[in-house]
Amino acid sequence: MRDVALIGGGIVGIACALELLAAGRSVTIVEPGEPGAGTAAGSAGYLSDGEIFPLAQPTVWRDLPRLLLDPRSPLTIEPAALPALLGWGVRFLCATRGSRVRAATAALASLNRHANDALAGLAVRAGAAAYLRREGSLHVARAARVFERAASLVPLLATHGLRARVVGRDELLRLEPALDPSVCGAVEYPDAMRCTDPAAFGATLATFARARGATLVPAAARALRERTDGTWRVETTHGGVDAREVVVAAGVWSRALLRPLGYVVPLQAARGYHLMLPAAGVAPRRTLLFEDAHFCATPMDAGVRLAGTVEFAPLGSPPNYARAGMLFPAAADYLPGLRADGATRWMGNRPSFPDSLPAIGKAARHRNLFYCFGHEKLGLTQAAISAQAMATLVAGGTAPVDLSPFALERFL
C-alpha cells in the first residue's frame, strides 16, 4: 500500500507529488493522460504575482449585459451551460460584495507573494529552470480610462506586499518598440515571470517525479472509498489503488469525486483558448497583458502565444475555436505587423470557483483525505506554493500560508 494516492497529474498534481516525495512519502499518481500535460500546458505561460483580483467584482452588475451581448467579449456563456451554471452564478454574484472581494483579494495575495519564488525553486530542483524567465510584465492600456484604472491598483497592490509601477507612454514604447504608438501607458509588474514552454516544463517535472520514485497509474479515478481504518481505495477505470492518504488534485474533475462524499463543490469549467503564432513577425520582450481586451501575449520558445477569454460551456462539448481566432485581430491592434502564418489553436478547461479562490485543505469529515484544485487561470503560477502547503498538511504540520480562506467549508 502506497502512502499517498494523488488523483490528477496536471501541473498542480505533479507539483504536489514532488513535494510529497521530498517529504519522504511514497506516491502513486492516478492520471488518464500524460502527466504534466494538463490545462497548464496550453496556458498563457504568464506567472504574475499581481493577479490577485477575483473575477467577481462589484462592477460586474453594470458590465455583465455588455459582456454577454458583445461577440468579441472576453466572456461568453453557451446556452447549454446555463442550467448547470445557475447555482454557480448565484454564488458568483454574492461574491461581488465589497467585503467578499477584499477577502478574496487578500487570500490570493497571500499565495501569490510566495508563488514565483516557490515555482522557481521547484524548477531548479527538477532541472526545469531553463523554462522560466523573471523579466517582469507590462499591463498595457490604449484608452486613458483603462490606463487610469490599471494605475489606480498600484497602491492596493503595495498594501499586499506586491510591487508594481506606472509606466508612461514614452517609456513604454522604449521598453516595447513593437507596440503601436497609440498605446496610452502601462503598469509594470517587475517580479512577474513567464514560462517559455509550459508543456515541456510540465513534462520535465513529471519526468523528475518518476525519477524520484512516483508511480503512475494511467487511469481515471471514478470513486473514493474510505475503509474503517481510515485508509482509502481509489476506484479507477482500470482497477483500484490502495493508499493511506488521498490527495484530490484533478482540476475540474475533482467535483465528481468529492460530491458523493458530501462536500459542496461549486466548480465549473471556465474554458480558455490560445492561439500560437510560430512566425509572429514581431517579438515582445516580455509578457504583455492587454488591459482593454483582457488577454495577453507571451513570447515563448516556439513563437508568441496569445491567450485569454473565458467561455462557460458543458464539459466535453466541442471547442469553439472562433474564440481563439478572435485573439489575433485584437492583438494586431497593439502589435502592428503581427502575422498568423502557421497559427495553431488550443482549448482547455480551467477549474473555476465563483470566488476565484482555489480549494486547498484537509477534508473536514474524512480522515486522511486532502484536496488541492480549482486554481482557475493561476494553476501554473500557484502550483508550487500550493504543493508546499499540501505536503505540510499531509505531514500534520502548519502550512506556509493561512489556508482557511481556501477550505471547501466556505461553501456551506
- Residues 221-277: tens digit of each pLDDT: 999 999 999 999 999 999 999 999 999 999 999 999 999 999 999 999 999 999 999
pLDDT on residue 38: 83
Number of domains in the chain: 1
Q: How confident is the model at residue 33 (pLDDT cuts 50, 70, 90)?
A: very high
Element (H, E) at 223: strand 221-226
Q: Which residues of 24-46 are buried (b: 16+ CB within 10 A; e: fewer)?
A: ebebbbbbbeebbbbbbbbbbbb
Strands (E), 8-113: 27-30, 46-47, 75-77
Amino acid letter for position 37: A
Predicted pLDDT at 383? 98
Local structure of residue 139 (DSSP, 8 states): E
pLDDT higher than 80, residue 346:
yes
Measured between alpha carbons, how far apart are the two ends of the chain, in Å?
Answer: 34
Write out the residue range of the structural domain in which residue 308 sits: 2-411
Q: What are the C-alpha distances in Å from 226 to residues 241, 258, 267, 381, 408?
A: 12, 12, 23, 32, 19
The pLDDT, as a whole number, for residue 164 is 98
The pLDDT of 102-128, averaged and rounded, is: 98
53: left (phi over 0), alpha (psi -120 to 50) or beta: beta
Residues 73, 68: Cα–Cα separation, whole Å: 7
pLDDT greater than 80 at residue 65: no
- At 2, is the pLDDT very low, low, confident or very high (cuts 50, 70, 90)? confident
Give the residue-averaged pLDDT of 301-321. 94
Judge whether residue 84 has pLDDT over 80: yes
Averaged pLDDT, 307-320: 92
Calpha distance 229→294 (Å, rounded): 50
What are the cell numbers at 330?
485584437
Q: Is the pLDDT of residue 218 over 90?
A: yes
Residue 209: pLDDT over 90: yes
Point out the least confidently predicted range of 44-48, 75-79, 183-187.
75-79
Sign of the Cα pseudo-torsion (279, 285, 287, 292, in order): negative
**pLDDT averaged over every residue in the chain:** 95
The C-alpha angle with vertex 228 and arms to 223 and 234, in degrees rounded to 5, equals 20
pLDDT for the residue 180? 97
What does the pLDDT read at residue 412? 84
> What is residue 166's predicted lDDT score, i.e. its pLDDT?
98
| pLDDT band per the 50, 70, 90 thresholds, residue 11 | very high
Q: Is residue 69's pLDDT more than 80? A: no
Instruction: Quickly count: other Cβ atoms within 10 Å of residue 187's Cβ.
Output: 25
Report whether pLDDT(97) > 80: yes
Per-position DSSP letters for 85-105, written without gaps between them: HHHHHHHHHHTTSHHHHHHHH
61 pLDDT tier (thresholds 50, 70, 90): confident
Rounded percentage of the chain residues whose pLDDT exceeds 70: 100
**Residue 139 pLDDT level (bands cut at 50, 70, 90):** very high
Q: What is the pLDDT of residue 309?
A: 86
The string of pLDDT tens digits covering residues 184-208 is: 999 999 999 999 999 999 999 999 9
What pLDDT score was predicted for residue 72? 75
Cα–Cα distance for residue pair 7/253, rounded to 1 Å: 10
The one-letter amino acid code at 63 reads D
**What's the length of the chain?**
412
DSSP 319: P
- CATH at residue 289: 3.50.50.60
Does residue 49 sit in helix, strand or coil? coil
- How many Cα neighbours within 13 Å face the side chain of 118? 25
Residue 142 in this model has a pLDDT that exceeds 90: yes
Rounded to a whole number of angstroms, the CA Rg of the chain reads: 21
Which backbone phi and psi does 344 adopt, to 5 degrees?
-120, 155
Split at pLDDT 50, 70, 90, the class of 382 is very high
Provide mean pLDDT across the span 167-182.
98
Biggest distance spanned by C-alpha atoms of the chain: 67
- Phi first, then psi, for residue 182 (nearest 5°) are -75, -5
Give pLDDT, residue 60: 80
pLDDT at residue number 73: 79
Pick the range with the lowest mean pLDDT from 84-93, 165-174, 242-251: 84-93
Q: Is the dihedral of CA 225, 227, 233, 234 positive or negative?
A: positive
